[in-house]
Amino acid sequence: MLRDLHQQGSLKLLFPRVHGALGKTAVLLNTAGGVTGGDRFDVAARVETGAHLVLTTQAAERAYRAQPGETGRIDTRLTIEANARCDWLPQETILYDGAALRRRLTVDIAGTARALMVEPVIFGRAAMGEHLHDLRFADRIDVVRDGATLFSDRTALNGDAWALMRRRATGGGCGAMASVVLVAADAERHLAGARDLMPGTGGVSLVRDGLLYARLLAQDGFDLRRTLIPLLRHLGVTDLPRTWIL
């Protein structure tokens, strides 16, 4: 049941119907078509006790060239109450040459709740021969459980991203990346199966009790999804949003 909704600007929320009624899935749509310097998008969602929410996007987000000194921002805050579940499944963020973007995901979760989050990003479209030689990108994920910090991750990539991602210690020539976080009481039982699904450019660990984390690299967005889709299903997403179908 949807209790309340507020939206403004170019960011809209759509609700696909299942058998004539609202389902558990909500789809974010940016009618502006992308993000550039000076833009700011804020998403806040609360999943109340016992509820299940799947949040996805209608299409890949795009971060376009920004003017010098200007930065686009995407801030997402999820609050997940006791015995509730939230699946944060946005499609890829595609970065273009000259983009400046700060992206942040903050999750406040109760100890008895469950959350699965994925944050994929593409460093230029490989099929179009795009190379990013001028990029300012910062990505941040924070998870707080019952008031205590459970997990924090920071990624920063500035300057010639194409050259940086070709280094063995960073990207090894890959052009797409994703972080996957599972917060659940039974996270450990998913570890072995998740490792079986990892390509040579990915890894997964049980960071601490109740938290599983995976980092994936791929040549392009298509290859990234070929790993992400079976991984998300293994981690409990039985019905992927239609927007995720290859």
**Tokens standing for 33?**
């078509």
Residue 176 within any structural domain of the chain? yes
If you count DSSP H runs as helices and E runs as strands, how many of each does the chain have, helices first?
3, 17
The pLDDT value given to residue 220: 95
Residue 28 within any structural domain of the chain? yes
Residue 1 within any structural domain of the chain? no
The pLDDT value given to residue 242: 85
What value does the mean pLDDT take over residues 187-191?
97
Q: How many domains does the chain fold into?
A: 1
Per the structure, the complete domain to which residue 156 belongs is given by 11-244
Distances (CA, A) of 183 to 4, 56, 246: 26, 18, 26
202-217 pLDDT, tens digit per residue, is 999 999 999 999 999 9
Residue 95, pLDDT > 90, answer yes
Residue 147 within any structural domain of the chain? yes
Residue 2 within any structural domain of the chain? no
52-94 pLDDT, tens digit per residue, is 999 999 999 999 999 999 999 999 999 999 999 999 999 999 9
Count Cβ atoms within 10 A of the Cβ of residue 245 and give its class: 0-12 exposed, 13-18 middle, 19 or more buried. Answer: exposed
Nearest to 194 by CA among 207, 206, 176: 206
The pLDDT value given to residue 194: 98
**Tokens standing for 198?**
């990892």
Residue 239, pLDDT > 90, answer no
Residue 5 within any structural domain of the chain? no
Distances (CA, A) of 88 to 12, 53, 84, 162: 16, 8, 13, 28
11-31 pLDDT, tens digit per residue, is 999 988 776 556 789 999 999
Q: pTM of the prediction?
A: 0.94
- How far is CA 47 from its chain centroid? 18
Residue 20 within any structural domain of the chain? yes
Calculate what percentage of the chain has a pLDDT beyond 70.
97
Can you name the residues that pair with 88 across neighbouring β-strands?
Answer: 55, 117
Please state, in angstroms and rounded to a whole number, the distance separating the CA atoms of residues 232 and 142.
Answer: 20
The pLDDT value given to residue 20: 57
**Tokens standing for 52?**
């299940």
The pLDDT value given to residue 126: 86
Concatenating the DSSP letter of every residue in 123-166 gives ES-GGGT---SSEEEEEEEEEEETTEEEEEEEEEEEE-HHHHHT
Residue 125 within any structural domain of the chain? yes
What value does the mean pLDDT take over residues 128-148?
96
What value does the mean pLDDT take over residues 190-196?
98
